[in-house]
């Protein structure tokens, strides 16, 4: 193996231009894939404050459907979530909260724009924010309509400066005074349930009549199951409840909603056709998988072409080695190893470039909020992709090389 590796490195340094082109193709491809993987990992993987979301189902949408293709869909209302989601039997916890919306916060006459959520107390028992000061909001805060708030460390810096303690301070939201009771570490905007700059009890800023029977509103619900094994049962119970709803509006005949994981929710939003088609999630997953494979196929094809070119240049070497009895297997292993070395070098370069790009995104794109990073899981994915590149792009040229007759190879024969 040591001899194979030494020879592979010498071959790569001999033709620097081909090596550069190959490394460029592999590293740029892996750069793009790893950046998108980091974004997807940040959105879909369980991490604070959504570290329990491997056991969470989301009620983020409800739709009304009628004859002739009439439909209307949107965020659920509080009444819908309170009646059909909060009371699901077997759920460990259920939280209801508003979708994020912009608001203006005033402190000492100075305005600061921020993203606001109103929540119940269960929200803070499902999500695990990192508290830097104070406490979370409670069910008692919501029931009593207490004018208290939790803010992020980023908003604390904007309102009070870096060294002033925020707990106990008063801020004005929507013209009403709120006392800060807690400060949490900022949350990336890609966290659908956790993202905001300031949180207040649900009933403090709720519009009049928010507990009425309208199905659409500006609320979200999350269900924490005791284990993922409970997902099918919770979904069946929810589907039974939804099927029994009779729309008040005569234009509509049925109501549809679902309990989804975060990935399933995104899949329903982005796939064409009926939002509640059971094949919609599969379609989206298949589409993006095929797109990624096609994207990866481009540098792999490039490596195959370059590999075939290298074989033609090395035909005399191959002929000599075969004339001295080198077995086909040894030649195939040598060429595949050369490709693996090349792709792993490209992977390392791509990984370093990805770290630089993500650092730039964290520092310059406000929506990211410092949430993108490269972790062990993403590095593992990168190495798997690199191995895929190396083996797939190396096997065909290696097979063609091994079939060359020694005499034909010495004469520079074609593959």
| pLDDT digit string, tens, across residues 346-367 | 888 888 898 888 888 876 666 5
Give mean pLDDT, residues 260-274.
79
**H or E stretch covering 113:** strand 110-119
Give mean pLDDT, residues 9-30.
73
Asked whether the predicted pLDDT for residue 137 surpasses 90, the reply is: yes
Give mean pLDDT, residues 305-332.
69
**pLDDT at 406 (0 to 100):** 62
**H or E stretch covering 133:** strand 131-134
Asked whether the predicted pLDDT for residue 410 surpasses 60, the reply is: no
Supply φ then ψ for residue 205, to 5 degrees.
-120, 15
Confidence of residue 106 (pLDDT cuts 50, 70, 90): very high
Give mean pLDDT, residues 170-194.
94
Higher pLDDT among residues 308 and 63, named by residue: 63
Nearest to 134 by CA among 146, 117, 152: 152
**H or E stretch covering 118:** strand 110-119
CB half-sphere exposure, 330, CA atoms < 13 A: 11
Confidence of residue 31 (pLDDT cuts 50, 70, 90): confident
Higher pLDDT among residues 206 and 411, named by residue: 206
Confidence of residue 110 (pLDDT cuts 50, 70, 90): very high
The alpha carbon of 105 is separated from its chain's Cα centroid by a whole number of angstroms, namely 30
**pLDDT at 60 (0 to 100):** 93
Q: Cβ distance 84 to 106 under 8 Å?
A: no
Supply φ then ψ for residue 179, to 5 degrees.
-95, 130
Asked whether the predicted pLDDT for residue 374 surpasses 80, the reply is: no
Higher pLDDT among residues 399 and 117, named by residue: 117
Per domain, the residue ranges of the chain are: 2-46+283-410, 53-93+211-278, 100-204
- 142 token code pair: 């919501």
Asked whether the predicted pLDDT for residue 318 surpasses 90, the reply is: no
Asked whether the predicted pLDDT for residue 338 surpasses 80, the reply is: no
Asked whether the predicted pLDDT for residue 181 surpasses 80, the reply is: yes
Confidence of residue 404 (pLDDT cuts 50, 70, 90): low
Rounded CA gap, 119 and 199, in Å?
A: 7
Contacts of 69 (CB under 8 A, 6+ apart): none
- 180 token code pair: 């800060």
Q: Environment class of residue 278 by beta-carbon count within 10 Å: exposed (0-12), middle (13-18) or buried (19+)?
A: exposed
Rounded CA gap, 198 and 64, in Å?
A: 32
332: left (phi over 0), alpha (psi -120 to 50) or beta: alpha
Torsion of Cα atoms, 270 then 272 then 273 then 274, to 10°: -10
Confidence of residue 85 (pLDDT cuts 50, 70, 90): very high
Confidence of residue 6 (pLDDT cuts 50, 70, 90): low
CB half-sphere exposure, 65, CA atoms < 13 A: 12
Nearest to 102 by CA among 372, 366, 361: 366
Asked if residue 120 has a cis previous peptide bond (ω within 30° of 0), the answer is no
Residue entry with tokens 């819908």? 80
Asked whether the predicted pLDDT for residue 158 surpasses 80, the reply is: yes
Residue entry with tokens 């013209």? 175
| pLDDT digit string, tens, across residues 45-56 | 888 899 999 999
Question: Read out DSSP for 226-238?
Answer: SSGGGHHHHHHHH
**pLDDT at 193 (0 to 100):** 95
Asked whether the predicted pLDDT for residue 94 surpasses 80, the reply is: yes
Nearest to 249 by CA among 213, 275, 219, 218: 213
Asked whether the predicted pLDDT for residue 59 surpasses 60, the reply is: yes
**pLDDT at 300 (0 to 100):** 66
Rounded CA gap, 209 and 187, in Å?
A: 31
Nearest to 133 by CA among 114, 110, 159, 109: 159
**pLDDT at 2 (0 to 100):** 65
On average, the pLDDT of the chain sits at 83
Asked whether the predicted pLDDT for residue 165 surpasses 70, the reply is: yes
Adjacency order of strands within the sheet including 71-74: 71-74, 62-65, 254-257
Confidence of residue 322 (pLDDT cuts 50, 70, 90): low
Rounded CA gap, 415 and 405, in Å?
A: 10
Asked whether the predicted pLDDT for residue 345 surpasses 90, the reply is: no
Could you tell me what percent of the chain has a pLDDT over 90? 40
**pLDDT at 107 (0 to 100):** 93
Residue entry with tokens 């803010």? 151
Nearest to 172 by CA among 147, 195, 141: 147
Least confident span in 9-23, 84-98, 159-173: 9-23
Supply φ then ψ for residue 231, to 5 degrees.
-55, -50
Asked whether the predicted pLDDT for residue 309 surpasses 80, the reply is: no
Helix (H, G, I), strand (E, B) or coil at 107: strand
């Amino acid at each position: 193996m040591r001899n194979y590796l030494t020879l592979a490195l010498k071959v790569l340094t001999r033709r620097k231009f081909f090596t550069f082109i190959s490394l460029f193709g592999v590293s740029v491809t892996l750069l793009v894939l790893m950046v998108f993987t980091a974004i997807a990992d940040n959105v879909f993987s369980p991490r604070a404050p959504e570290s329990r979301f491997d056991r969470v189902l989301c009620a983020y949408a409800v739709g009304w459907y009628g004859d002739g293709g009439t439909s209307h869909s949107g965020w659920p209302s509080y009444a819908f979530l309170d009646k059909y989601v909060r009371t699901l039997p077997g759920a460990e916890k259920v939280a209801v909260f508003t979708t994020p919306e912009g608001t203006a916060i005033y402190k000492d006459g100075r305005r600061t724009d921020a993203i606001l959520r109103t929540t119940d107390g269960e929200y803070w028992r499902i999500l695990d924010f990192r508290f830097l000061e104070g406490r979370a909001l409670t069910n008692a805060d919501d029931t009593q309509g207490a004018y208290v708030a939790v803010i992020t460390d980023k908003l604390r810096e904007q309102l009070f400066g870096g060294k002033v303690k925020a707990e106990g301070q008063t801020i004005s939201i929507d013209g009403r005074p709120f006392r800060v009771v807690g400060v949490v570490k900022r949350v990336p905007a890609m966290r659908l349930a956790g993202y905001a700059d300031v949180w207040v009890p649900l009933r403090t800023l709720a519009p009049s009549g928010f507990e009425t029977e309208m199905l659409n509103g500006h609320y979200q619900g999350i269900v924490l199951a005791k284990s993922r094994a409970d997902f099918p049962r919770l979904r069946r119970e929810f589907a039974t409840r939804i099927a029994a709803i009779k729309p008040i509006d005569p234009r509509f005949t049925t109501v549809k909603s679902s309990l989804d994981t975060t990935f399933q929710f995104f899949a329903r939003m982005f796939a064409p056709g009926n939002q509640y088609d059971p094949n919609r999630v599969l379609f989206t997953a298949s589409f993006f998988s095929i797109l990624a494979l096609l994207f990866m196929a481009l540098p792999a094809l490039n490596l195959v072409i370059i590999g075939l070119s290298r074989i033609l240049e090395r035909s005399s070497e191959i002929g000599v080695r075969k004339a001295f009895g080198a077995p086909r297997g040894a030649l195939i292993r040598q060429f595949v190893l050369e490709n693996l070395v090349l792709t792993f070098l490209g992977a390392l370069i791509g990984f370093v470039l990805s770290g630089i790009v993500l650092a730039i995104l964290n520092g310059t794109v406000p929506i990211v909020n410092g949430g993108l990073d490269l972790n062990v899981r993403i590095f593992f994915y990168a190495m798997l992709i690199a191995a895929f590149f190396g083996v797939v792009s190396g096997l065909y040229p290696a097979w063609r090389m091994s079939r060359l007759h020694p005499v034909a190879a010495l004469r520079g024969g074609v593959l």
